[in-house]
Amino acid sequence: MRNVVIIGSGCAGNTAAIYAARANLKPLVVSGHEAGGQLSLTTLVENFPGFPEGINGPDLIENMRKQAQNFGADYVHGNVLEAHLSKRPFRLNVEGDWVEARTVIVASGAAARWLGLPSEQKLIGHGVSSCATCDGFFYREKKIMVIGGGDSAMEEATFLTRFGREVLLVHRREEFRASKIMLDRARLNPKIKFATNTVVEEIYDVSQNLVTGARLRNLKTGQTWDEPVDGFFVAIGHIPNTAVFHGQIQTDDEGYIISQGGARTNVAGVFHAGDVQDRLYRQAVTASGAGCMAALEAERYLEAEGH
Ligand code: NAP
C-alpha cells in the first residue's frame, strides 16, 4: 500500500514527488510513456527561475527526478492502464501490475496535438514547437509560421509578433474557431499574414536538423508552394491525459479535470497538478507550483486520517 501514487513525471509530478518524498511519504511516481512531459520535448528553458543561463528541458526534468529520488521517491516506467477510484484504497493498474494507494496525485499532463507529419516529429525542438511562450524568444527578427485557427493560434501568433519580423498564420479552413476578439486582434496586427484553406504537406529541412521552410497546399485551388520560415509553431490544441479516469474524476467536455479548489478533485484523496487541469498557463513553473500544492494537500489528507 502506497501513501501517495503520483501519475506523471513532468514538472508537476516531479515537484509533487520532491515534496511528498521529503515529507517521508515514499511516493511512487508512474512516469508515463512520455516521461518528463512537455519539457522533455524542448531545448533551452530560459524562464524557469534559478537558471540565469537557462537550462535544457530534459536536464531540468532529470534534475527534478534525481532530487525526488534522493529523498526516497520511487519511479516506475509505464502508464496507468486502469484506475478504480470509487472506493478505498484506490487501485491502479500500472502496465498489468496492481498498485494500491491511500492518495493519488494526477499529474498526467496534456499532450500537444501535432499535425502528424514525420518531418514535424523529427524537427520538434529544432524549430518546431508547440509553445510560443517557451520558444518565441529564439526567433527575433525571424519569419515564423503558426498553424491553427482557434484562440491558441491567435494568441500565439500575436505573442510571436513581439519577436519575429513576420508571422504567417496557416489555417485549414476559411472560417475560424477563434473568438472574434482574438481573431480581430490578430487581423489588425500588421505583422500577421493569413493563409486560409491551406494545409502543411512537409516541413523542411530534416537533413539539416533545422526548420528552413514548409510546403503548403491551398485546398481550394490545389496550388502548392514552398514558404521559407525559421520557426514553426503548431497551435491546434491539446489533449488532456485523463481518458483512464473517465466517469470517475470530474472533467470538462474536453477532458480537463475540474478543480474543486486548491488541488482537489471531486474524489476525496485524489488531487490534480499541472496541465491536466490547467488549460490557461501551462508553464513549467506553474506546473511545479501545482505539484507542490497537490503534495501538501495529500500530506494533510493523510495526516487527518492518521497515517
Ligand atoms: P481549438 O479551439 O480546438 O482550435 C484548434 C484549431 O486547430 C482549430 O482551428 C482546428 O481547425 C485546428 N486543427 C485541429 N487539428 C488540426 C489539424 N490536424 N490540422 C490543421 N489544423 C487543425 O483549440 P485551442 O485554440 O487550443 O483552444 C482550446 C480552448 O482553449 C478553446 O476553448 C479556447 O477558447 C481556449 N483558449 C482561450 C484563450 C484565451 O482566451 N486567451 C487562449 C487559448 C485557448 P478547425 O477549426 O478546422 O477544426
**Whole-number pLDDT of residue 43:** 74
**Rounded distance from Cα 133 to ligand 1 centre (Å):** 17
> In which band, very low, low, confident or very high, does the pLDDT at 39 lie, cut at 50, 70 and 90?
confident
pLDDT at 13 over 90: yes
The average confidence (pLDDT) of the chain is 96
Bridge partner residues of 272 (DSSP): 106
Mean pLDDT of 236-260: 96
**Whole-number pLDDT of residue 61:** 97
**Whole-number pLDDT of residue 276:** 98
Q: What is the pLDDT of residues 198-217, one digit of tens each?
A: 999 999 999 999 999 999 99
> Range with the lowest mean pLDDT among 32-46, 115-129, 253-267?
32-46
Instruction: Please name each of the domains of the chain with its CATH number.
Output: 2-111+238-305 (3.50.50.60), 114-234 (3.50.50.60)
**Parallel, antiparallel, or unpaired: how do β-strands 231-234 and 224-228 relate?**
unpaired
> How many Cα atoms within 13 Å fall on the side-chain side of residue 73?
31
pLDDT at 159 over 90: yes
CA distance 94 to 256: 22
**Whole-number pLDDT of residue 133:** 84
> In which band, very low, low, confident or very high, does the pLDDT at 42 lie, cut at 50, 70 and 90?
confident
**Whole-number pLDDT of residue 287:** 98
**Whole-number pLDDT of residue 232:** 98
**Global pTM value:** 0.78
Q: Which of 128, 170, 177, when mutated, tests ligand 1's pocket best, judged by the most ligand atoms within 8 Å of its CB?
A: 177
Q: Which residue has the cell 530560459?
A: 46
Q: What cell numbers appear for 299 in the block? A: 500530506
**Rounded distance from Cα 265 to ligand 1 centre (Å):** 26
Residue 237 CB less than 6 A away from ligand 1? yes
**Among 134, 275, 278, 292, the one annotated catalytic:** 134
**Rounded distance from Cα 236 to ligand 1 centre (Å):** 5
pLDDT at 265 over 90: yes
Closest CA to 110 of 260, 264, 300, 274: 274
Q: What cell numbers appear for 287 in the block? A: 506546473
> In which band, very low, low, confident or very high, does the pLDDT at 33 lie, cut at 50, 70 and 90?
confident
